[in-house]
Structure 1
Amino acid sequence: MKVKPSLEQAICVLMLLAIQKREIPLHSTLISQRLGLSDSYTKKVIQHLSRAGLVRSVSGKDGGFVINREPDQITMLDVFNTIEGTGPFGVSSGLADHVFGMSKDPSFDACYHMGRLDEGHNPGDAKEEALAIFAEAEKSYRDKLAASTLNELCPHRDGKLITIDWTPWLQAKSDAQAQGEVEQ
């Protein structure tokens, strides 16, 4: 299974907001500059996080985004489900039955004279076994994500989550980049 790049980006947005002082919203432009992504793409990622209740928008002149729950209350499963969805990893299209359901077809038996195949080896059983393997792997994957929180990923000092205001540093970097672009 390959996850979308936006999963990593969502985790990084949440990490930025997790250590951002809660009373100071972080503007999406500064978030996108820090991540090196376009502002429109960052806003799409944030929109997913907002719909899931993980972040919220603060309007106004000094508005932006803040994390909506404490980092130890946001699991990696919350983020995964927000970006990837909650559907199962493996779903049968019925192809195995179509291709290997030959023992049910009288013309197959007329050609090969095999009779009914063993019940333990029919494609329906194999399909169900394969889906069960994927379901078990998916459960383990989701259980691991559910047991891991955003707090575990964020920087700590003396056992406590650090909190800073990213705004001055990010704004200074943005201003320096803008001046460098003008001078060139």
Structure 2
Amino acid sequence: MKVTSGVEQAVCILLMLASQKDGLPLKSVTLSTRLQVSDSYLKKVLRKLVIGGLINSNASKTGGFTLAKPDDSITLLDVFEAIEGSDPFFVPSSLVEKVFLMPETIEKKKNTVITILTEAETLFKNRLIECSLRQLRYYDESNNLGTVDWNAIVENSACIKGGTSHAEK
């Protein structure tokens, strides 16, 4: 099993949305610029998060993306399943049965393989469900949840790098 980069992007997107000052929406270009990732790939990740019920999309001049529910109710398992799906990692294909010759060995070893792989998936998913998005958030020196105006940061960094901000237009 390999976890795709989309899962990491999704976690970062959700952390940005969760920490956005005043819960204001973020546009995909703001997210992709800050994360320095392809806007087209990021939009695919955003779509999966919308379908998964983790974020809302508002297509208007002042719109963008916002969290669909509180950050303490979004787990890493929710994020993983929104991106990777919720199908089991392992689906037995009866190959193990072809390796052993004795019927009693076939059944015992087949069950051992299935049990170990199923237990590994359960452990993985149980660990992800233990961690909420809020637990990953930044806390300031007074132990308050930190907020950031990502729109301003991205706009200011565009100005510093020689880009044109909306304020300059």
Same fold (TM over 0.5): yes
* 1:20-169 → structure 2 map (5 Å cutoff): 20-100=20-100, 102=101, 117=102, 119=104, 121-122=105-106, 124-157=107-140, 158-169=142-153
State TM-score, norm by structure 2.
0.88
Q: Quote the RMSD (CA, aligned, Å).
A: 1.8
Aligned residues: 163
The letter for the 2-side match of 1:82 is A
Partners in 1 of 2:84 and 2:71 — Cα distance?
20
Partner-residue secondary structure (3-state), 1:156? coil
SS of the equivalent of 2:56 reads strand
Q: Is the 8 A contact 1:22 1:66 kept in 2?
A: no
Runs of 4+ in 1 over 4 A off after TM superposition: none
Q: TM-score, normalised by structure 1?
A: 0.81
**CA–CA separation in structure 1 for the residues paired with 2:70 and 2:144:** 13
CA offsets 1:60-88 (integer angstroms, 9 cap, x no match): 21211111111111001100111111111
Hey, what's the Cα distance between the residues in 1 that align with 2:153 and 2:103? 69
Which blocks of at least 5 consecutive residues in structure 1 are unaligned?
Answer: 103-116
Partner Cα distance (2:43, 2:35) in 1: 12
C-alpha deviations, 1:78-118, integer Å up to 9, x for none?
A: 00111111111222222222343x4xxxxxxxxxxxxxx36
Q: Distance in 2 between matches of 1:145 and 1:23?
A: 25
SS at match of 1:26: coil
Displacement of 1:137 in angstroms is: 1.4
State the alpha-carbon separation in 2 of the partners of residues 128 and 84 from structure 1.
Answer: 26
Unaligned runs of 5+ in 2: 165-169
User: Quick one: distance in 2 between partners of 1:94 and 1:155?
Assistant: 47
Q: Distance in 1 between matches of 2:161 and 2:38?
A: 15
